[in-house]
A and B are shown apart, each in its own frame.
Chain A
């Protein structure tokens, strides 16, 4: 259990800046994910935390003590951390028990103590019966559990995970996501988890740091990231959304023949010294799940914005319909998600209704 903080950490490879002045702080026992597309710098950040890569600028501190800074880096073996690798890195020439015991042996525990703790942790990850097997005899999921056991048994201060589930098939991934979170709750180790899969990040993390091009775009609890994205990137990356360019003028947001008072919106624009008669372009995010489709003009009583339109495309996804609706008189084109039973033919007229509280101003 430790507090981890990154302060203006940067890493450059030649002319390319891979991590750009990153700031992040983790509380004790917190589970934070670094989420982003390939090349956003999340793995490099993780490796800097582990000590495999030296930062070019900034510093990393563990419990207040600086462990990484340009020119002065504590080697990985002395950080007291643990890491789960994408390939699991289970040593094929050792049994499950020997793999898990490796770290304990290095800490010079007695044979009996080692055996006890190995047995315990294997029970926790439900691999107790397979202690004598070799990795080649295990499935992917089982190897993953061994990796977890090996990492946790040494009671690390920080646990680092590098896309650990990307090699598993979909069903197993769900199961292991749950497992990882369960282990975290049981042992409360400060955890940093790198992934490009939002579902994983959302299912496991206390907070998610969304990264793009070496920078953190937003750090927030998962549901806040979803409902209140603060940048265009985050809005587009987390879930699917409609991004509409609008104008904010006199506290009113206007786009494509729609005008909504700014106060009615779900997320307020950034507070600060914004003169109320400021006039600027903004981006509005509307989730497809928030766009209701009606066959007849609905009552406007609840304050929803209603726009008539026609279905221009549709795709059936099994659990829902994905409709693209073009506004009748305007250039507005919105994606709408509807339950499977809600069938509309292409070309028919529908009315889109959106509750303004589901509209979010994204910078």
Chain B
């Protein structure tokens, strides 16, 4: 070939080989809508999660009024012995409650999951009841039961044995820890039972055949296998306990126990010292992060394999006559957690004077009548609770679904960041979240203080992790090939989602919505800082009612709160399944 011919050939090859640059408008048209959605979601999550926390952090270094940088807030927050005492009290309370909760729940979980103990349905009901009963209501019930001089239990004890000292004084550190554990143990139960359900019976059979009896097997094989779940449950209860406000306020003040949450409340007294509150709240956040870190560390050892998959075949262990002992244990816990408090609350709600006990002349409908017809705020607060929780649940589920979809299908390279932000509020105590929202949005320029919007935003952020865990599990259950099959046939992604995926995850999402709704409807620690007089929720009104110690009306209002909650629980059970609240996502 001549050189010019070869040149021509080369350029001809070059002309066909090099593709022309793709025009920008074509590239734009090919952008996956997912990328835009990702940006939007990132913005939303920043506003909901990062901004309040960031503002909290910044505010803790600000001087009140001027905004100048200062460390004085930290000095003020930790300068007084009382404040430090409150911190230690919280830690001690968390550890004690978590221990009690584990002691209560682990035998129950083992009995229900692996043995032939009778009355499993009753045990489930007790766990569900304890889950649904708001902690502060349980606290009031226990005041009626175990006030050292007037509580029913102590009165009965004294008349039976003639002793002067009470059997159980609820106004004590152990009393407070016990009451908290009784409302928090369902968390441990769910964790441990789910893990036990995945243990194949062959693990226990192998121990049996080598010579280990039932109890030895339980101690050496079954429970150690679910050690991660037990630790996980312990940590969750610990975190719940240190973040509680209602119970320590109602029981702690007469018991003279100051904890971090009640101390934070004091910083909000006039004059409001948000800056010091922020500085004081930081350790709560750090402790939470530290606990999660400790958990990861403990379980990083290779010995603890996370239980996934279907597990193996399960046969119930025959306990013989001992199954009645286990039943008694479960029944006992159910009685303490649900049966007794609920009964005294019901009795008080229909009583003229609860101390007079159950007597015909003590029965009245006056308390309910007062609330329904004469108390201005009672009905409004019920309405507030319902619609705040509903909107927050909807927002949380919507955001969670989008984030879960993007993360699970790996649509964007940095998707995990979104997932992280969606789960982050899990480690933030509700009260800290609320203070962050207060710092970020309550004042100027947005001035959302006392508005419904502020509360809804805070609730959405707070319960996003629940919605996200739920949505994530739901999306993961739908094989991506289902959508791919639709897309290869010509359907766009969005259409594939709405026609294929959405119907498949509908039920799970409904369960998630209901779960967020129910938990939001009884939330107190976050709400107490953010409600205005007109936007009070039921929980806050209940707390206000407890101020004057008018337990009869308080109990009646508690009854109404429970009624509203149960309506939604029953709806949930009918639509999604009997255990929709107790399934671990």
Residues of A close to B208: CB separation below 8 A: 52, 75-77
A93 contacts the other chain (CB 8 A): yes
Point out the residue from A79, A89, A92, A135 that lies within 8 Å of B206, measured CB to CB: A89
Proximity bits, A66-95, B CB within 8 Å = 1, else 0:
000000000111110111011101011111
Residues of A close to B207: CB separation below 8 A: 102
Tell me the complex Cα distance, A76–B209, Å.
5
B240 vs chain A, min Cβ distance (A): 27
Comparing B210-218, B375-383, B509-517, the segment that makes contact with chain A is B210-218
Point out the residue from A87, A134, A136, A137 that lies within 8 Å of B312, measured CB to CB: A87
B195 vs chain A, min Cβ distance (A): 12
Given A86-B202, A87-B312, are A94 and B303 neighbors across the interface (CB < 8 Å)? yes
A296 contacts the other chain (CB 8 A): no
Given A92-B303, A93-B224, A134-B302, are A154 and B210 neighbors across the interface (CB < 8 Å)? yes
Question: Are B302 and A136 touching (Cβ within 8 A)?
Answer: yes
B63 contacts the other chain (CB 8 A): no
Question: Are A91 and B203 touching (Cβ within 8 A)?
Answer: yes
B571 vs chain A, min Cβ distance (A): 38
Residues of B close to A93: CB separation below 8 A: 224-225, 227, 303-305
Given A93-B227, A106-B216, A136-B305, are A85 and B205 neighbors across the interface (CB < 8 Å)? yes
Point out the residue from B206, B305, B312 that lies within 8 Å of A83, measured CB to CB: B206
Question: Which chain B residues numbered 193 to 238 have a C-beta less than 8 Å away from chain A?
Answer: 200, 202-203, 205-213, 216, 220-221, 224-225, 227
A47 vs chain B, min Cβ distance (A): 9
Proximity bits, A331-354, B CB within 8 Å = 1, else 0:
000000000000000000000000
Question: Are A103 and B210 touching (Cβ within 8 A)?
Answer: yes
Residues of B close to A79: CB separation below 8 A: 209
Interface size on B (CB < 8 Å)? Answer: 24
Residues of B close to A50: CB separation below 8 A: 205, 209
- Candidate in A50, A76, A86 with the most chain B CB atoms within 10 angstroms: A76
A116 contacts the other chain (CB 8 A): no
Point out the residue from B210, B225, B312 that lies within 8 Å of A92, measured CB to CB: B225
Tell me the complex Cα distance, A52–B206, Å.
11
Main secondary structure of the interface of B (DSSP, over half): helix
A150 contacts the other chain (CB 8 A): yes
A107 contacts the other chain (CB 8 A): yes
Question: Are B221 and A103 touching (Cβ within 8 A)?
Answer: no
Question: Are A83 and B302 touching (Cβ within 8 A)?
Answer: no
Question: Are B304 and A85 touching (Cβ within 8 A)?
Answer: no
Question: Are B211 and A107 touching (Cβ within 8 A)?
Answer: yes
Question: Are B205 and A52 touching (Cβ within 8 A)?
Answer: yes
Residues of A close to B209: CB separation below 8 A: 50, 76-77, 79, 81-83, 160
Nearest residue (CB) in A for B301 is A134
Tell me the complex Cα distance, A137–B304, Å.
12
Residues of A close to B227: CB separation below 8 A: 93
Point out the residue from B203, B212, B305, B315 that lies within 8 Å of A89, measured CB to CB: B203
Question: Are B225 and A77 touching (Cβ within 8 A)?
Answer: no
CB-defined A-B contacts under 8 Å, sample of 28: A52-B315, A75-B213, A77-B208, A77-B209, A77-B211, A78-B211, A81-B209, A82-B209, A83-B209, A85-B202, A85-B205, A86-B202, A89-B203, A91-B225, A92-B225, A92-B304, A93-B225, A94-B303, A102-B207, A102-B210, A102-B220, A106-B210, A106-B212, A107-B211, A134-B305, A151-B210, A154-B210, A160-B209
Q: Which residues of B contact A (CB under 8 A)?
A: 200, 202-203, 205-213, 216, 220-221, 224-225, 227, 302-305, 312, 315
Q: A50-B209, A89-B205, A93-B303 are in contact. List 8 more A-B contacts (CB 8 A).
A: A83-B206, A91-B206, A92-B305, A93-B224, A102-B212, A106-B212, A135-B305, A137-B302
